[in-house]
Amino acid sequence: MYWNVWVRTMRNDIDESRDWQGQLLECARCERQIGQLEGHCQLGHACVHDRYARRIDRFFRWNPDLAREYLKHPYFEVRAVAARYVEVFLLPQMLADPDETVRQSVALRLPVHSRHLLELRKDPHREVRVRVAERLGFKDLPSMMGDSDYYVRQIVARRLPAGYLPGMLHDPDPEVRKVLARRVATDWLPVLARDSDLSVRLEALRRMEPQQLLAFRDDPDWRVRYEVAGRLEPAKLAGLCHDPDEVVRELACKRWAETVTPPPSLVSTQKPLNQESFHG
């Protein structure tokens, strides 16, 4: 019962056409009244004054040439949507917009090598800097390696040319270092394989060559030793057959035994014939 009431309330609320201040909209009072008569807007479907971003977007899709007239609109959704349609040369005036949603729209449209996009590298809101990090050219991307937000640095670590990655090996966030462990040149993997965070060590070990794993047989975490036991050259596993962890011991001994005795599939299971079999 309560759910049905809530659904009806929400449906009525969405069906109503109200502006960003909650006032019912009337076409007769709109400056776009003529446009409405000509089919360039529609109340409840495509309206620049509606509080719902989808209806605002539909209005500008129908009337992209009008976007420049709404860059100073008091409702941030109108400004943010207008920024998607306005001519690019008008975007710089919106760099200092008080709302981060608007600045995100600007960051998504500015040219990759634009000095204005570079200005947004220091934006106070992380979502704006995320958009910048996703679009910035490789030449300028290293300047965001030290961003204060870990997720921005993750994006940087995913996009940076490989030659710059060693400069982030000591990033304070393990999620960033995990990205590095997946991308950095193999020469740097031993550094990350000794990381203080287990997940980083495992990511690094999974990319290392089997002969490099010998140095990690004594890692304090059994999961690292298990990874070593599963990939180290079998002839070098004897030490791990005495590992304090049962799971590591079993894997190491199984792989080691396969190198010093013939595999079971090669040992004949047929009983030797005796003389009685020849005489019935």
The stretch 7-35 carries a mean pLDDT of 72
Does pLDDT of 278 surpass 60?
no
pLDDT bin (cut points 50, 70, 90) of residue 261 is: low
Nearest to 208 by CA among 185, 229, 225: 185
- Tokens 């070990």 -> residue: 205
Residue 266: C-alpha distances to residues 95, 270, 272 (Å): 73, 12, 16
Q: What is the DSSP letter of 214?
A: G
pLDDT band at 263 (very low <50, low <70, confident <90, very high): very low
Per-residue model confidence (pLDDT) at position 270: 45
The pLDDT score that the predictor gives to residue 277 is 40
Residue scoring higher pLDDT (168 or 259):
168
For 11-20, 55-64, 193-202, which range has the lowest pLDDT when averaged over its residues? 11-20
Which phi and psi (to 5°) does residue 78 adopt? -65, -45
10 Å CB burial of residue 53 (0-12, 13-18, 19+) is middle
The pLDDT of residue 9 is: 38
Separation between Cα atoms, residue 92 and residue 195, nearest integer Å: 43
d(CA 34, CA 66): 14
Q: What is the pTM assigned to this prediction?
A: 0.80
Most confident listed range (3-7, 14-18, 152-156, 273-277): 152-156
Kindly report the backbone phi and psi dihedral angles of residue 42, in degrees, each rounded to the nearest multiple of 5, phi listed first. -155, 120
Q: How far is 227 from 225, CA to CA, in rounded Å?
A: 5
**Greatest Cα pair distance in the chain:** 116
Any idea where the domains of the chain sit in the sequence?
A: 15-86, 215-260
